[in-house]
Amino acid sequence: MGVEFVSANPTGPLHVGHGRAAAQGDCIARLLEASGWAVTREFYYNDAGAQIMNLALSVQARALGLGPDDAGWPGDGYRGEYISELARRYVACESVSADGHTITASGDVRDIDAIRRFAVAALRHEQNLDLQAFGVRFDVYFLESSLYSDGKVEDTVRALIAHGHTYEEGGALWLRSTDFGDDKDRVMRKSDGSYTY
């Protein structure tokens, strides 16, 4: 039996709501185990998409010496002090380990992908430490980005197109979700080429 819980976006420190979700999920997993189930505890990291790009752009802006009220700060940027700390660590070419992988910052403030990888790993590491201190453990850490890097998103989109479950409108690719009981069709791929969650 799989129990996925907490699953906070790696865009900042955990907050009390995440703590509540950790306690609830861990209790459910323990109750299932006590009832004889084999349980796998999973943390799903939404490490792809707009929020993660906002994180990377925020760290980049701080690394360039910008503050949240300065011209050039990302419109949806993160403003917490932790962004300054991530920028400092990135420019200092520090290393961070998360989920069995070590990422070393390049220090190149123009490399937004390297900034993204480092910031996500650093925040995942901090979140993991907080959860361990809280007494919560996970068996599996699943990264949303792996769905893209492994080609699973594109494979699924191709299959949906091939079976006639999509259409294009306004430059976007829509899923005919009303065919499956939804109240309206949903955008799958936006006109800029990015996918919805």
| Pairwise CA distance, residues 80 & 43, whole Å | 24
Same-domain pairing of 33 and 48: yes
Tokens of 109: 């403030």
Please give the share of the chain, as a percent, with pLDDT higher than 90. 90
Same-domain pairing of 80 and 174: no
In a domain, 99, yes or no: yes
Q: Is the pLDDT of residue 196 over 90?
A: no
Q: Other CB atoms closer than 10 Å to residue 114's CB: what's the count?
A: 19
State pLDDT tens for residues 80-89: 999 999 999 9
Q: Is the pLDDT of residue 101 over 90?
A: no
pLDDT at res. 13? 94
Q: Where are the beta strands (DSSP E) in the chain?
A: 2-4, 40-45, 95-98, 101-104, 140-143, 166-169, 172-175, 186-189
Residue 186 is inside which H or E element, if any?
A: strand 186-189
Residue 169 is inside which H or E element, if any?
A: strand 166-169
Q: Is the pLDDT of residue 197 over 90?
A: no
CATH of the domain at 5: 3.40.50.620
Same-domain pairing of 66 and 118: yes
Q: Is the pLDDT of residue 99 over 80?
A: no
Tokens of 71: 């011209």
pTM, two decimals, is: 0.84
Domain that holds residue 101: 1-150
Tokens of 3: 């129990």
pLDDT at res. 138? 95
Once rounded to an integer, what is the mean pLDDT over residues 122-132? 94
What's the number of domains the chain is made of?
A: 2
In a domain, 197, yes or no: no
pLDDT at res. 24? 97
